[in-house]
Amino acid sequence: MDTAHRIIQGIGVSPGIAIGKAYVLNRSRIVVPQTNILDEDSVDEECERFEAAISKAERDLEDLKQRVHPDFKEHIKLLEVHQMILRDRLIYGETLQLIRQEWINAQWALVRSLAKARERFSSLDDEYIRSRVADVDAAGERVLRNLAGREEDPFQGIRERVILVAHDISPADAAQLQFDRTLGLLTDMGGRTSHTSIVARSLNIPAIVGAEQSTRLVPNGEIIILDGTTGRVIIWPTEEEISHYASRQEELENYHKQITRWAHLPARTLDAHSLKVEANIELQEEIVAAKDNGAEGIGLFRTEFFFMNREELPDEEILYHEYRELAELMEPMWVTLRTLDLGAEKLANWFPRLEEINPALGLRSIRLCLYYRDLFKMQLRAILRASTAAKNIRLMFPLVSGVGELLEARKVLREVQEELLRKRIPFDGDMPVGVMIEVPSAVAVADMLAKEVDFFSIGTNDLIQYSIGIDRANEHVAYLYEPLHPAVLRFIKQTVEAGHRAKIPVSLCGEMAGEPLFVPILLGLELDCLSMNPRAIPRVKNLIARSRLKECRRFVKKALERTTAQEITLLLQEIMLKKFPEELRLFELDAVLTDAALHRKMRLGRDRFRS
Ligand code: PEP
Ligand code: MG
């Protein structure tokens, strides 16, 4: 095989080298075999097989219903709709009829009756019925899965330490990975700040996403090398390549060990400017990594992952214990609990699937919480009850678009506080409440928002997505995802200034915070806190300790005069080369190189179109 076909270029999203066997996960859509039945007895058998699949789906739905918290009535209703759909004449009756009349297998017959039902439903005037099309699909998929006998756990077959190769891995799947068996992660889809990438980073698994052809090109069971820094994958590596990457792996690990020794000191520049460096975590288990790497608090706890990892909605008691333990484990440091940020790519099994054309612009995050108020209140109750344990919990609302939405969220919080007061259940009345700045409208009214909260935290992952107008998880437009876009830097500056005018601290908790290359910029922008994946803390603290605030301020002034992200990147490269050359050598100019690779890809894409 020639070199060109042995190398795949993707987006390196979690640094580190993995060398090992590829395990290609074949989890595409449900395969629907289309076969003819050859005799009358088999027709009866096929009808019975279909009947059994329907009954199993009914039982599973009933089971799910029993496990849903009674407060969450809407979800129960939805499951009931799915149960009704299963026995609907258009689907149930039609499928049996097709099997009997046309002597075809159950899956084929079901797919055909589903298509017909979908068509019927969509053409009706009744908006309610039209909106049930997605439910028809969901109920049908459940039966198809039963007919195919599909395994629910995609990782079940993994018996040794492997590099997992998949078309896509949902954030919920990623959080369930057995990371002792996962050497590395490679996916066709995704971008640098997609949540799968975030989980890989926090689990410290080298990962590459957006490597479009990987599931097609990587042969199952073969040895591959994955470089999570440069985004390069080598199939069938030579002896020399293996020994080169093995020594690089050792070098990176030694460097990390060396700088981690100093990571427990507070972050402070050479000219005595202090700021906080905190950790972003998704699961309680990551507290160990946060502490080991020198976190000075939890700047972002993505509470939704606890909801995504399970089949059923967790109840208030479970949440209360989870949050309380978290607070006690981190005491006396702060723990920032962000309220549920579900929706878009962050879905849960128990959660009603919404059919949205534009989920990133849809019912997600705080909007979803304000829509499903019982769910929101349940989480707030659990957080408030846990807040008395060590009085170190901070609350943060995500994706707030303006003052109106913030006041509404605060109103719900007040209602829950009043309810607890009435029931004489204690909570921390001084718990700080903050807001994430993640959409341009929030930046525009940051001065107004600042009057209503105790702190800001800038979520650049979303802020970049919404300012530039690109999907953060879409590999095709990943080259446009530019943290150094002048618009993004201006937005950060405006937010910091608005926060400081109102005398509230401003943190940054997007993935940008953990990118060592951006340290000079983030210091110069005068953020009070940087919150990042735990593994990035030692590198970032090391660079902060070797920087001067004065120089960084001058640097930011210069950078803000540049008109493109590329020019700002070059400036950064210059300063890094002068001050921290070993970072550039060790990490192969990571972000910069990745950008260059993506631009090459963009050109390739055009050429392919032309030919
Ligand atoms: C962000 O958007 O920057 C952020 C921290 O939140 P999340 O990545 O969970 O959307
Ligand atoms: Mg966000």
**56, pLDDT greater than 50:** yes
The pLDDT of residue 609: 43
Query: Does ligand 1 lie within 6 Å of residue 339's CB atom?
Result: no
What is the 106 CA–ligand 2 centroid distance (Å)? Answer: 43
DSSP state of 576: H
Give the pLDDT confidence score for residue 590 in this predicted structure: 47
Q: Give the closest ligand to the alpha carbon of residue 473.
A: 1
Alpha carbons 514 and 537: distance in angstroms, whole number: 7
Alpha-carbon gap, residue 318 to 383, rounded angstroms: 11
- The residue annotated as part of the active site, out of 195, 256, 369, 529, is 195
pLDDT at 600: 44
User: Which atom of ligand 1 approaches the CA of 198 most closely?
Assistant: 8
Give the DSSP per-residue string, 239-278.
HHHHHHHHHHHHHHHHHHHHHHTTTTSPPB-TT--B-EEE
C-beta 352 within 6 A of ligand 1: no
Mean predicted confidence (pLDDT) in 216-239:
91
Please tell me the predicted confidence (pLDDT) of residue 169.
81
* Ligand 1 contacts CB of residue 509 (under 6 A): yes
Closest ligand relative to 202 C-alpha: 1
Kindly report the backbone phi and psi dihedral angles of residue 85, in degrees, each rounded to the nearest multiple of 5, phi listed first: -60, -40
Alpha-carbon distance of 540 to 265, in angstroms, equals 12
Is the per-residue pLDDT at 592 higher than 50? no
- pTM reported for the whole predicted model: 0.78
- Annotation marks residue 47 as catalytic: no
Q: Summarize pLDDT for 392-448 with one digit per residue, the tens.
A: 999 999 999 999 999 999 999 999 999 999 999 999 999 999 999 999 999 999 999
**Residue whose CA is at the smallest distance from ligand 1 atom 4:** 459
What average pLDDT does the segment 466-474 reach?
A: 88
**Residue to substitute in 301, 461, 531, 533 for testing ligand 1 pocket (most ligand atoms within 8 angstroms of CB):** 461
Residues 287 and 534: their CA atoms lie apart, in Å, by 9
Q: Which atom of ligand 1 is nearest to the CA of 302?
A: 9
Q: 20: which strand partners?
A: 224
User: In the predicted model, what is the mean pLDDT of the chain?
Assistant: 87
C-beta 75 within 6 A of ligand 1: no
Give 528's contacts (C-beta < 8 A, 6+ positions apart).
275, 276, 505, 506, 507
Does the structure show a pLDDT above 70 at 558?
A: yes
What is the arithmetic mean of pLDDT over 305-330? 90
- Number of neighbours of residue 212 by Cβ within 10 angstroms: 17
3-state SS assignment for residue 499: helix
Does residue 611 surpass a pLDDT of 60? no
For residue 21, the CA-to-ligand 2 centroid distance in Å is 34
- Judge if the beta carbon of residue 312 lies within 6 A of ligand 1: no
Closest CA to 14 of 278, 206, 252: 206
Overall average pLDDT of the 76-90 stretch: 87
User: Rounded mean pLDDT of 93-122?
Assistant: 91
Determine contact, residues 571/554, Cβ cutoff 8 Å.
Answer: no
Sheet containing 162-166, strands listed edge to edge, beginning at the edge strand earlier in sequence? 7-9, 232-235, 223-227, 17-24, 162-166, 182-187, 207-209, 11-14
Which among 333, 289, 335, 330 is positioned nearest to 536, based on CA atoms? 289
Task: Report which bound ligand comes closest to the CA of 346.
Answer: 1
Pick left, alpha or beta for residue 15 (phi over 0 → left; psi -120 to 50 → alpha; otherwise beta).
beta
**Helices (H), ranges, 177-260:** 195-202, 214-217, 239-260
What is the predicted pLDDT for the residue at 27?
52
Query: How far does the centroid of ligand 2 lie from the alpha carbon of residue 510, in Å?
Result: 7
Which residues fall within 8 angstroms of residue 206, CB to CB, at 6 or more apart? 14, 15, 16, 17, 18, 183, 184, 185, 200, 226, 227, 228
- Name the residue with the closest Cα to ligand 1, atom 9: 302
Ligand 1 contact, 341 CB (< 6 A): yes
C-alpha–C-alpha distance, residues 99 and 110, integer Å = 9
Let me know if 552 is a catalytic residue: no
Give pLDDT tens digits for 132-155: 777 787 788 889 888 887 545 566
Element (H, E) at 130: helix 127-130
Residue 596 has pLDDT above 50, yes or no: no
- Which residues, at least 6 apart from 27, have a Cβ–Cβ distance to it below 8 Å? 154, 166, 167
Is the pLDDT reported for residue 474 higher than 50?
Answer: yes
Cis, peptide link before residue 266, omega less than 30° from 0: no
Checking if the pLDDT of 530 tops 80, the result is yes
User: According to the model, what pLDDT value does residue 297 have?
Assistant: 98
> For 52-71, what is the mean pLDDT?
83
Q: Say yes or no: CB of residue 510 within 6 Å of ligand 1.
A: yes
Closest ligand 1 atom to Cα of 459: 3
Q: Is the confidence at residue 332, as pLDDT, over 70?
A: yes
| Residue whose pair of structure tokens reads 């700040």 in the numeric block | 193
- Predicted confidence at residue 539, as pLDDT, reads 94
Highest mean pLDDT among 120-129, 175-184, 223-232, 416-425: 416-425
Q: Which of 369, 509, 529, 552 is an active site residue?
A: 509
Q: How far is the CA of 97 from the centre of ligand 1 (A)?
A: 50
Q: Residue 241 phi/psi, 5° resolution?
A: -65, -45
604 vs 92: which has the higher pLDDT: 92
Burial class from Cβ neighbours inside 10 Å (0-12, 13-18, 19+) for residue 582 reads exposed
Q: Which residues contact 2 (CB under 8 A, 6 or more apart)?
A: none
State the pLDDT at residue 194: 79
In whole angstroms, give the CA distance from residue 141 to residue 514: 40
Distance from C-alpha of 390 to C-alpha of 43, rounded to nearest angstrom: 66
Of all protein residues, whose CA lies closest to atom 7 belonging to ligand 1? 461
Could you give the CA distance from residue 531 to residue 525 in angstroms, rounded to a whole number?
15
State the closest ligand 1 atom to the C-alpha of 511, by its place in the atom list counted from 1.
3
Any atom of ligand 1 within 6 Å of the Cβ of 462: yes
DSSP string, 11-78: EEEE-SEEEEEEEE----SPP----B--SHHHHHHHHHHHHHHHHHHHHHHHHHHHHS-TT-HHHHHH
Q: What digits encode the pLDDT tens for the residues 559-568?
A: 999 999 999 9
462: CA distance to ligand 1 center in Å? Answer: 6
* Percent of the chain whose pLDDT exceeds 70: 89
Per residue in 240-282, pLDDT tens? Answer: 999 999 998 999 889 989 999 999 999 999 999 999 999 999 9
Q: 459 CB less than 6 Å from ligand 1?
A: yes
Up-side HSE of residue 286: CA atoms within 13 Å toward CB? Answer: 30
Residues 386/393, Cβ–Cβ less than 8 Å: yes
Beta-sheet pairing, 11-14 with 207-209: antiparallel
pLDDT tops 90 at residue 176:
no
Rounded Cα distance, 201 and 205, in Å: 6
